Amino acid sequence: MTATTNRPLRHAVIGAGMAGILAAIKLKQRAEDFVVYEKAAKIGGTWRENRYPGLSCDVPAHAYTYSFEPYPEWQAYYATGSEVQGYFEQVVAKYGLAADIRFNSEVSALDWDAGTNQWTVTLADGSRDVFDVVIAASGVLHHPRLPEIEGLDSFEGPAFHTARWDDTAPIDGAKVGLIGSGSTGIQIVTAINKKVDKLVHFQRSPQWVMPVPQFQYTEEEREAFRRDPALIDAIRFADEYIGNIKRFTDAITDIDGPQMTMIEDVCRQHFESSIRDPELKEKLRPNYRAACKRLIYSWCYYEEVQHPAVFVETGKIARIEPKGVRMADGTFHELDTLILATGFQADKFIRPAGVTGENGMTLDAFWATRPTAHYAVTLPHFPNLFMLNGPTGPVGNFSLIDIAERQWDYIDQLIDLLRKGEAASVMPTVDAHNAYEERRIAAAKTTIFGSGCTSWYLDATGVPASWPWSYDAFADAMAKPVLSEYAIRTPVAA
């Protein structure tokens, strides 16, 4: 006989960033037992770690909130990084989550016990605890990638990665070098160009830039948002945002279709009409298709990069010397400060924690070719382990909060099987996952991300590591797990 009584569950949530906070709220609302493990001393994840000048969120602020926690206080259409951090801090306070979070607690290992159907969570300090469910919400872009450039350690001034911002480093009136022209490097150019004596922007690849509007909300508008949340919804669900997302996902999956043509036309027109100096124009002209790398959404980059203090250096860096950067052609750029906007190791996820699932399967072994997860959420061999913003999800395609909320709805239905006592453990079957991955990889290769450029979207084999279908397909997939794709072990009869 299968037990059908409610089973009290203990959950471990790993990470107190946007996704971990979401899981904590949802579990708290169910009055379930959970602990959030956070490696740092504060909540916020990416918004805690990134404090560089110019940091802003390129999803409209009113769309970058939990659907159940609208925020009338946003100052502008696009919010600054510190405002976003403030939003999450006030959400954590409102839901009284601080006591549920163990700060300075880095998870070093997860071990599945098939006898008890539980995970043992081991922390870096050696302490252990046991849980029925693990929610991995440890983020994607949080292990800085430092460039392998000869002599980096020899630089005499401050040299630091953008996610490790050094507030003491000379910027005002200084000679500053900035390596990297992803979303981060571009935002930094727009924020420090007028403060520096000189900014040398070392650009290995130029970017396509999608022009977007930016404007401040007035106090009257904020007051109206406070009185009438429908006004917030009108922005959140406006065609300018949600319609654009749908058009964007149509474009990336139909790369010769009308939506992609429109994106390319807008970016090209913006480029052609904005850059005045012909030499700079050629430096900034991309030689790959728009949206192949993550599109830059900016209202000011092309104007700011033309500031006289900015020099875009497109030559090859030979080495870093104590006083600056030597180019392959012998040119030397003397610098006081060197900023490394060189991105992140996007294939780590919960690692370096050692994760061991059924029959001794490790995450490193399972991900030997590439990090994968079933619909970006669950993993064969790793029962009762659920990922928020895990590998191959639509990261970069639409708001990560919307993604996490939809993933939570999917996960919650699987956890329900455990809650109701209908399952002791749940994970996708190897066959279902392999069939899914085969479909995903075939589709991913035809997306714009696979159209011939380098980016952190590509896995080690060159296949785009992202969700390759539309927004609606994602919403449909997350609405209800297909239980026939899952190995559902029933509990021992009572």
Residue ranges that bind ligand NAP, judged by CB under 6 A? 56-58, 141, 147, 149, 179-185, 187, 202, 204-205, 294, 341-343, 396, 454, 456
Task: Tell the residue number behind the tokens 């035809």, with chain if given.
Answer: 446
E-strand ranges in 118-189 read 118-123, 128-131, 133-136, 159-161, 175-179
Between residues 44 and 185, which has the closer beta carbon with respect to ligand NAP? 185
Q: How far is the CB of 488 from ligand NAP (least distance, A)?
A: 35
455 to 57, 112, 174, 201, 257: CA distances (angstroms): 20, 34, 31, 19, 22
Q: How far is the CB of 309 from ligand NAP (least distance, A)?
A: 20
Report H helices in 379-470: 400-419, 430-445
CB 178 within 8 A of CB 341: yes
Between residues 318 and 361, which has the closer beta carbon with respect to ligand NAP? 318
Q: Which two tokens stand for residue 219?
A: 């106090």
Q: Which two tokens stand for residue 439?
A: 């479909």
- Of 384, 320, 367, 370, the C-alpha closest to 159 is 320
Residue nearest to ligand NAP (CB): 182
Angle between helices 258-274 and 244-253 (to 10 degrees): 100
Between residues 125 and 148, which has the closer beta carbon with respect to ligand NAP? 148
Q: Residue 472: CA atoms inside 13 Å, Cβ hemisphere, count? A: 6
Between residues 178 and 251, which has the closer beta carbon with respect to ligand NAP? 178
Q: How far is the CB of 310 from ligand NAP (least distance, A)?
A: 16
Q: How far is the CB of 242 from ligand NAP (least distance, A)?
A: 17
Between residues 343 and 393, which has the closer beta carbon with respect to ligand NAP? 343
Q: How far is the CB of 485 from ligand NAP (least distance, A)?
A: 29
Between residues 210 and 441, which has the closer beta carbon with respect to ligand NAP? 210
Q: How far is the CB of 282 from ligand NAP (least distance, A)?
A: 17
Distance between CA atoms of 311 and 186, rounded to whole angstroms? 13
H helix or E strand, kind and range, residue 232? helix 229-236
Q: Residue 216: CA atoms inside 13 Å, Cβ hemisphere, count? A: 3
Distance spanning both ends of the chain, measured CA to CA: 7
Q: How far is the CB of 163 from ligand NAP (least distance, A)?
A: 8
Between residues 190 and 384, which has the closer beta carbon with respect to ligand NAP? 190
